[in-house]
Amino acid sequence: MVRIWGRRAALNVQKVLWCADEAGIAYTQIDAGQHHGVVNEPRYRALNPNGRIPTIEDGALVLWESNAIVRYLCARYAMGTLCPKDLGARADADRWMDWQATTLFQPTFRTYYLTITRTPTAEQDQAQLAGLHRNLVEMFSLLNAHLAGQAFVGGDTFTMGDIPVGTVIDKWMRIPVARPPMTQLEAYYQRLNARSAYRTHVSGFAYDAI
Ligand SMILES: N[C@@H](CCC(=O)N[C@@H](CS)C(=O)NCC(=O)O)C(=O)O
């Protein structure tokens, strides 16, 4: 039984829970982070010295970093489906996972999202927000164009490559900000929402849930 540490509303934990359900993995989830505490306790720091969430335990294996966890779970429990066997297709999925972590999310989307949802309007830096919004529209336009003629980021089938970007798209689609129409991205969001694990672990939460 895999143990997944982290509060359910956290985007990086949502990736892992969504992935676990897609892969049909038996797991237990343990609340940690924010008001749940736990992350500063020595027993948690022994598992994850960053004091961040998520962390998983699978037998003797302890792993942190959400995208690494998603890669591991897919390779271990969903090889040939969520983790493509073909190395080119796998690298393509990896590419979108890395793009989510290093280009889309950190620092741009994370800063934008946290400002919109956690900072009182009077304290928001509107010039900074406008710049971040411009960058995000450029990035989502790139993905929108990529999705023309294909259902998922790696082609016609859902893979691990869809999981990190899927969690960010959910927040982007629901935060109360202006979004230029993006037909393919909107259709992709609907396709993700047709998956019960996505509704359970991602879009079923309030966009600003803590
Ligand atoms: N790069 C790490 C980031 C982990 C991270 O920052 N997680 C956030 C939640 S999404 C966290 O631990 N926040 C503090 C908390 O919830 O107590 C990953 O992808 O796992």
Average pLDDT, the chain: 98
Mean pLDDT to the nearest integer, 47-63:
98
The architecture of the domain spanning 2-77 is 3-Layer(aba) Sandwich (3.40)
What are the structural domain ranges in the chain?
A: 2-77, 87-201
User: Which atom of ligand 1 has the smallest separation from the CA of 67?
Assistant: 19
Task: Read off the pLDDT of each residue in 138-166 and give the average, rounded to a whole number.
Answer: 98
pLDDT at 85: 98
Q: Which residue has tokens 């792993």?
A: 63
The whole-number pLDDT of residue 37 equals 98
Confidence of residue 210 (pLDDT cuts 50, 70, 90): very high
Neighbours of 49 (CB within 10 A): 9
pLDDT of residue 96: 98
User: What local confidence, expressed as pLDDT, does residue 53 receive?
Assistant: 98
Counting from 1 in the atom list of ligand 1, the atom nearest the Cα of 33 is: 17
Whether domain 87-201 has CATH 1.20.1050.10: the reply is yes
Pocket test for ligand 1, best of 7, 15, 52, 65 (most atoms within 8 A of CB): 52
How far is it, in rounded angstroms, from Cα 193 to Cα 209?
18
* b (16+ CB within 10 A) / e for 110-125: eebbebbeeeeeeeee
User: Which segments of the chain does DSSP mark as H helices, in order?
Assistant: 11-22, 42-47, 66-77, 87-99, 110-118, 126-146, 162-174, 183-193, 196-198
Q: What percent of the chain has pLDDT over 90?
A: 100
Determine the atom of ligand 1 nearest the C-alpha atom of 11: 10
What's the gap in Å between 55 CA and the centre of ligand 1? 10
What pTM does this model have? 0.98
% of the chain residues with pLDDT over 70: 100
Q: What is the pLDDT of residues 63-97, one digit of tens each?
A: 999 999 999 999 999 999 999 999 999 999 999 99
Distance CA 17, CA 77 (A): 14
